[in-house]
């Protein structure tokens, strides 16, 4: 919140004769003599082309989009994608969707939003060092989980029965959730294929996001579990502690530097064997001690039942989804589509509240925390 009004600056020595008065936030901050030279998109694209790795993805004009657009004067096509994602509602709703712990009392535990931000930091560090397209990498990293439903990965199992081919957060995010943003094909591909059980991304930037996602979540999920009193850093396997350390910051640094060294040595987005083995061991540890421990399995069972029942309720009551569904017939394919879109976009707390309101769930029986 701003408490003071900006000062007005009457034409000064750095402004052009006859130029109108301008307003400054503080004191005049000069960027050079007027008229200042602006760096437009085309010039930046040319400079980037010379600076990037040979097979990095180049930004060209408005980009390859489902609906053609006019190029921006200053921003590259992937910078526009990044801006659109950051300003979108699906991205903002990630703040209310859990990473591991459902609606926790501890505000410091990760959400899907903080996870996306950390993935972007890892991915950008790799892309910058490797001479790849940083804007494309950052956009895909921030948008990669926008298709996630509430209450973690269990939402995929809950929503899969309602869609032909099942519900995959990466595919749904690219093809449904982010579709209204008219993003570039390369950005959508990186989102759609960031999961390791999906086909390979078509760009090296997309492959970087895949690695960054795994590196970020295995490191920060351990840190959250330590803070929650579920595990201790002393429990980490020796093949993890001896190669990448026991703190999140040391682990991230080790993985990022190892990936960059591997890129330098091989020309391929890959991770050399010692760190790759450490990453696999850390992920296996997470599954055994965090994700699949009995308390977490029980919470996932409740999530699947709650979200499945909530989706069924909205299929039978499509008008409750919103005004645009008023003419949708209950139980119709259109009602199913609308219900999945609505429930998958919910934050954890909103979904839990609706389960109490519409389904009569006992608040004490709701999935929480652990």
Entry pTM: 0.93
pLDDT value of residue 234: 96
7-9 and 22-24 beta bridge pairing:
antiparallel
The string of pLDDT tens digits covering residues 3-56 is 555 555 445 445 566 677 889 999 989 999 989 999 999 999 999 999 999 999
What pLDDT score was predicted for residue 7?
54
pLDDT in the model for residue 13? 47
CB atoms within 10 A of CB 359: 13
| Mean per-residue pLDDT, 342-359 | 97
Q: 65-81 pLDDT, tens per residue?
A: 999 999 999 999 999 99
- The Cβ of residue 298 has, within 10 Å, a number of other Cβ atoms equal to 12
Helix (H, G, I), strand (E, B) or coil at 1: coil
How large is the average pLDDT for residues 196-210? 98
Q: What is the mean pLDDT of residues 315-339?
A: 90
CB 155 within 8 A of CB 342: no
Inform me whether the pLDDT recorded for 252 exceeds 70: yes
pLDDT tens column, 291-320 = 999 999 999 999 999 999 999 999 999 999
* Neighbour-count burial for 34-63, b at 16+ CB within 10 Å, e otherwise: eeeeeeebeeebeebeeebeeebbbbeebb
Express as a percent the part of the chain with pLDDT over 90.
Answer: 89
Give the chain's domains with CATH numbers.
77-295 (1.10.3210.10)
pLDDT of residue 77: 98
Number of C-beta neighbours around residue 115 at 10 A = 23
Q: Give the bridge partners for 22, in sequence order.
A: 9
């Amino acid at each position: 919140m701003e408490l003071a009004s900006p000062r007005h600056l009457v034409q000064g020595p750095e402004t052009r004769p006859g130029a109108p008065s301008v307003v400054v936030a503080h004191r005049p901050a000069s960027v050079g003599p007027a008229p200042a030279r602006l760096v437009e998109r085309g010039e930046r694209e040319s400079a980037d082309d010379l600076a990037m790795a040979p097979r990095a993805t180049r930004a060209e004009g408005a980009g390859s989009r489902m609906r053609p657009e006019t190029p921006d004067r200053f921003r590259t096509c992937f910078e526009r994608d990044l801006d659109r994602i950051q300003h979108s509602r699906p991205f903002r709703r990630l703040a209310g969707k859990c990473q591991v712990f459902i609606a926790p009392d501890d505000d410091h535990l990760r959400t899907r939003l903080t996870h996306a931000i950390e993935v972007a930091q890892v991915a950008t560090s790799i892309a910058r060092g490797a001479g790849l397209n940083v804007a494309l990498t950052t956009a895909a990293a921030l948008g990669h989980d926008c298709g996630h439903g509430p209450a973690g990965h269990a939402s995929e199992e809950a929503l899969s029965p309602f869609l032909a081919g099942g519900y995959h957060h990466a595919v749904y995010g690219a093809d449904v959730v982010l579709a209204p943003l008219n993003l570039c094909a390369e950005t959508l591909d990186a989102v759609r294929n960031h999961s390791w059980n999906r086909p390979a991304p078509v760009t090296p930037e997309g492959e970087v996001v895949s690695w960054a996602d795994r590196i970020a979540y295995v490191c920060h999920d351990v840190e959250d579990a330590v803070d929650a009193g579920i595990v201790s850093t002393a429990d980490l396997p020796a093949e993890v502690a001896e190669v990448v350390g026991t703190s999140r910051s040391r682990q991230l640094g080790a993985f990022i530097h190892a990936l960059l060294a591997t890129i330098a040595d091989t020309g391929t987005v890959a991770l050399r064997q010692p760190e790759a083995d450490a990453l696999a061991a850390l992920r296996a540890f997470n599954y055994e001690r965090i994700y699949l421990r009995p308390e977490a399995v029980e919470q996932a069972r409740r999530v699947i039942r709650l979200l499945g029942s909530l989706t069924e309720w909205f299929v039978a009551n499509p008008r409750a989804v919103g005004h645009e569904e008023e003419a949708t017939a209950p139980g119709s394919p259109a009602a199913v589509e609308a219900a999945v879109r609505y429930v998958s976009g919910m934050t954890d707390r909103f979904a839990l509240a609706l389960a109490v309101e519409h389904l009569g769930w006992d608040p004490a029986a709701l999935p929480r925390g652990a």
